[in-house]
Amino acid sequence: MAIILLFFTCPELVAQSKPVKTAQKVNDQVKKVKEDADEMTRQAGEIGENVKAIQSNIKTVVSIFEPILRFRLKKNTQDLVQVSPDNNNSETSTRTEEAAVNDINIVNYDTGVTQSDINNGTLLVAESPSYNTDGSANLGSQNNDKFGCYLDMVKGQVMDDIDAAGNSKSIDIIFTATGAFNEQVPMYAFLTPAYVKNDRFAYNFFKGTKYKDQNIPPASWDDVNESEVAMTALTPAQFDKIQNNNQLTAVVKQIKGFGQKVESRTKLDGKVIAVKTEMGNRTAFGLICITNHYGTTGSNGYLKIRIKVTGFDSNGDGMPDAQFYNNY
């Protein structure tokens, strides 16, 4: 006997199932779109963080700034005009002979001297006798007749009493040499401007051929920097290795004993001094490498120095921008 199964479909149930399936499909699609959107957002966030990390890294490896190279030396970009002995133009001959005495009239200069220029033997011209074409400066003691004893670290500028009178706020350090504490053993010192102005006994460091009493120039300055100075254990070779802000900052942070002055009873050849200035309108971290110490406490005493300071990068290319320092 055959069994016949009959299935009956209810029209109402069929009508209800179609919208349910359609709604489920739509929900699945919406969920998929949302998941894709979330994934894109996550990836975009990661990319953004990576970009920020790269930008931050660029800022941390900004090169240090060597102000003597950038501000105190110029490249000679044009040879002196040569005049043939047969040249009958007396006017040109006279002009060239005069220029040979003072070649600034016919020599063009360019800024932006680098260590590579020095290494490659590029013809350089120093701004004044206070600077040397090997990238160093001559910092005199307070008694020196030729070189000033005041130093603007940021611009690599050596100043004498006249220069300092109108720029006292930009002076970071003062170098002195005196026999006032012991005539047989000279006292060499790096002093901060605030110390020299405010300490009643600071004038003793100035005693010598030029100054014999308390009437020293810094005592009359209206504005002075509250900089700090410290002797380091760095060698000139280690000084040379410091090429970016990370290295300079790490070195400065490790140095102990920052204060208002550094004193030495021995000559300073090969020493490296750290200087930092942290004020509202002036922040400077730097190192002074003393390559040579000439003379003692007389009018011929001076230091041959090189300077490295914090590099400030305004356009994000990792290289210090000189225009920033010009307005500092």
- pLDDT value for 238: 97
Residue range 39-98, pLDDT digits in tens? 555 544 553 454 344 334 445 589 999 999 999 999 886 543 444 444 455 444 444 444
Contact 83, 266 (CB under 8 A): no
Segment 172-195 mean pLDDT: 96
Strand ranges of the sheet holding 124-126, from the earlier edge strand across to the other edge: 109-110, 73-76, 124-126
Cα separation, 156 vs 173, whole angstroms = 11
Please indicate whether residue 33 or residue 326 has the higher confidence score (pLDDT). 326
Taking 90 as the threshold, does the pLDDT of residue 9 lie above it? no
pLDDT over 70 for what percent of the chain?
70
Please indicate whether residue 305 or residue 320 has the higher confidence score (pLDDT). 305
For tokens 């007389």, name the residue. Answer: 298
Mean pLDDT of the chain: 80
According to DSSP, residue 78 is labeled S
At 327, the pLDDT band (50, 70, 90 cuts) reads confident
Cα separation, 72 vs 129, whole angstroms = 10
Length of the chain: 328
Phi-psi region of 50 (alpha: psi -120 to 50; beta: other; left: phi over 0): alpha
Cα separation, 94 vs 33, whole angstroms = 85
For tokens 């300079």, name the residue. Answer: 248
- pLDDT value for 282: 73
Residues 6+ apart with CB under 8 A from 45: none
pTM passes above 0.75: no
Residue range 242-301, pLDDT digits in tens? 999 999 999 998 999 999 999 999 999 999 999 998 776 777 799 999 999 999 999 999
Residue range 107-162, pLDDT digits in tens? 344 457 888 889 898 999 999 999 999 999 999 999 999 999 999 999 999 999 99
